[in-house]
Amino acid sequence: MNAAVITGASSGLGCEFARQLDNEPNIDEFWLIARRREKMEAFAETLKKPSRILPIDLTKREELSILKDALHTNKPVITYLICAAGTGRMGKSMDIPPDDNAMMIDLNCRAAVDVTQMCYPYLRKGSRVLEISSTASFQPLPRLNVYSASKAFLTSYTKMLHYELIPRGIKVTAVCPYWIKDTEFIGQAEKTSKDYSGYFLASRTQSVVKMALFDSKMNFWVSTPGPVCFVHRIAAKFIPHEIMVPLVDLVRKL
């Protein structure tokens, strides 16, 4: 049985990946992972392929045994692993409650590594791994310090994983989008503080996922699914962060 394992599958990008992969011939079943069972069940009803619902809080390491047991029992071939679970909180890092900072690190970094390593024995030649990082990983971002640092970790981890898995023929891509308006992410991030406004040129899930899947097919190690993140990646590579940080701080309220 071929499975697509998707974390963050109760909303936003996670759901959109399942939607766009619903006609993929090398997937028999979706394995949907998030905390909200009812949202995943309702979403699964909209898909043509069957889904297995795995309600897991990925910040609670002991709950990963649910995934481990399901993998051990069913021994699927994982043709797609998409780690989309992630969250951000805005504000100066010292003003964000320590539990929120810890949660971002735990979910965006540790959980992605844990899930990927747990799924690794079930990946085969041709399998595709997409770690959903962010354009925030390209430089330290004002009022998103811990979030951008967590995504810098994820992009770096994913690049090396891409290299490590080349001999096995497994394609690994760090997907680094700019703001996406039609997900729950911005609302969650603004829970602590509203430090960005306008979300000028924000992208949409449909185009982000379409480009990310294309880039993964091409086996790019980093995907910048949209013009802003593409330009940002280049700018952050060539312009010193000492300049980029105050620049972003100037434009974030536009």
Ligand X SMILES: NC(=O)c1ccc[n+]([C@@H]2O[C@H](COP(=O)([O-])OP(=O)(O)OC[C@H]3O[C@@H](n4cnc5c(N)ncnc54)[C@H](OP(=O)(O)O)[C@@H]3O)[C@@H](O)[C@H]2O)c1
Binding residues for ligand X (CB under 6 A): 8-14, 34-36, 39, 56-59, 84-88, 107, 132, 134, 177, 179-180, 183-186, 188
Distances (CA, A) of 147 to 89, 163, 189: 7, 25, 10
Rank residues 2 and 188 by Cβ distance to ligand X and give the closer one. Answer: 188
By beta-carbon proximity to ligand X, the closer residue of 3 and 189 is: 189
Question: How many Cα atoms are found within 13 Å in the side-chain-facing hemisphere of 124?
Answer: 10
Return the number of the residue (75 or 204) whose C-beta is nearest ligand X: 204
C-alpha torsion 242→243→246→248, nearest 10: -120
Min CB(164)–ligand X separation in Å? 22
Q: Packing angle between helix 241-251 and helix 227-238, nearest 10 degrees?
A: 140
81: phi then psi, degrees, rounded to nearest 5: -120, 120
Give the residue with the Cβ less far from ligand X, 77 or 230. Answer: 230
Q: Could you tell me the smallest distance in angstroms from the CB atom of residue 108 to ligand X?
A: 6
Integer angstrom CA distances of residue 2 from 26, 37, 113, 153, 171: 6, 22, 22, 30, 16
Q: Least separation, in Å, of the C-beta of 144 and ligand X?
A: 10
Shorter beta-carbon distance to ligand X: residue 8 or 142: 8
Sheet holding 29-34, edge to edge: 51-55, 29-34, 2-7, 77-83, 123-132, 171-175, 222-223
**Which residue lies nearer to ligand X by CB, 44 or 56?**
56
Cβ 51 to ligand X shortest distance, Å = 14
Find the shortest distance in angstroms from Cβ 89 to ligand X.
11
CB 180 → ligand X: shortest distance, Å? 4
> Which is nearest to 40 in space by CA: 30, 28, 48, 32?
32
